Amino acid sequence: MIVGLGPGSLGLLTLETWDLLAAADLVLLRTAKHPTVDGLKERGVSFVSYDDVYDAQPTFDAVYDFIARDCLAKVEKGQKVVYAVPGSPLVAEKTVSLIRLLAAERNIAVKIAPGMSFLEVLYVRLGVDPAAGMTILDSIDLAVLRDKPSTGLVVTQIYSRQVASEAKLSLMEWYADDDEIIVARNLGLPGEEVRKIPLYELDRLPVIDHLTSVYVPPGQAGPGQFELSPVIDIMARLRAPGGCLWDIEQTHRSLRRYLVEEVYEVLEAIDLKSAGQLCEELGDLLLQIVFHARIAEECGDFTMQEVIDGVAAKLVRRHPHVFGDVTVQDAGEVVLNWEQIKQQEKGHERPSVLDGIPPELPGLMKACKLQIKAAKVGFDWDNIAPVWEKIEEEIAELKTAIESGDTEAMEGELGDILFAVVNLARFLKVDAEIALNVTNSKFKRRFVHMEAAVGEKGLNWEQLTLAELDQLWDEAKLAEG
């Protein structure tokens, strides 16, 4: 039988646990360093503790393994054993986990009596509801913590200054030095302490003992880190039953137009050189990514964490000159390495050199990507002169199509001109899509200026001649400087 001695005073021990302790042939304590033990002595309960094992064994794992095996060895000898641990048997008790595992292998029945842990007292003192999420770790497990908990974090077994120092260093991997933590000591006992301190002061406390624990509140960004959880949690709530009806109805396909719109709004903010607008638009774009990831998670396809992990791994793979032993001379070699690695990764999926270009891309952007991919295998001119010749050739062919009155031919030849102009932009190292968007924005600004001028002068658009409109346009150009 395994029981818990509760979080502190004898009054927090359950009646069932007391009856089991009183009736046992042999009471084994993981440690006698617990406030309840004096009460057991006063009431005539004899026991044997494993405190000496902590000094005899080289590591905590060895201590826990010895205790588990020794307990079961005594049971196998026919003794009626009650093994007692601080707090609750199933809260941060590795020996209990080991005993259950070894007992299952040996077909030994193990019963566990419910017990009150220090956590119940801690929740009351902190005023937190564990249903909102809580991560509970033994201090020795902090060193192998892979990710920063998204919930509040309780760290138990901070029993010495050295352990506090090691715990502090581990926590500083995920939290800022001055992030606020709460230290709880002697919970439920005389001299109870619950105090807020900055993380860096953890190992400087005047008293640290086996009844010391730490609580780290959720939502602290940490050293140079940021949290995606707020927007992820909000999106999950919007998509949940009782959430937003519009958000619930959306699919990957229905959101496509919004994703494209947000990308262009980011580009507009960049062109306007507006930091505030760019910050806002990047947030809107991030929202679309979180939205798609949430839909995928609901379908069991992937999670937002997999999106982040995937791109992080890709960045490491494709930058061997940073994360590996590859040496590069310039940015050109960086691009070459990137493309070679990308081809190795994607080659089996894309039999054609031109594969991998999304069909939904805007026409100018798609044309540029097609040309770049073809150029990688040598299908390209060596200099810009033939590019100009090609544009002139396509213009001549369009004129011929216009003279013939063939609408389909006109469409095809006009497309050829645009494709050739994109090729020119590529040789000039200008992004044709961005260049056109810049011109679109410029046209809009100037036209709005013309509208304002027409209104200020009390003129009527229908009465203005083309020459007068041209003059207003020139005034708009001058106004821009």
Mean pLDDT of the chain: 85
Per-residue pLDDT tens for 90-147? Answer: 877 889 989 999 989 888 888 999 888 888 888 888 888 888 888 888 888 887 777 7
Q: What is the DSSP letter of 423?
A: H
Sign of CA dihedral 118, 122, 124, 130: negative
pTM as predicted:
0.42
Helices (H), 127-254: 161-171, 229-239, 245-249
Torsion of Cα atoms, 294 then 297 then 301 then 305, to 10°:
80
d(Cα 183, Cα 200) in Å, to the nearest integer? 12
d(Cα 317, Cα 321) in Å, to the nearest integer? 10
Per-residue pLDDT tens for 79-99? Answer: 888 999 888 888 778 899 899
Per-residue pLDDT tens for 376-435? Answer: 778 888 899 999 999 999 999 999 999 999 999 999 999 999 999 999 999 999 988 888
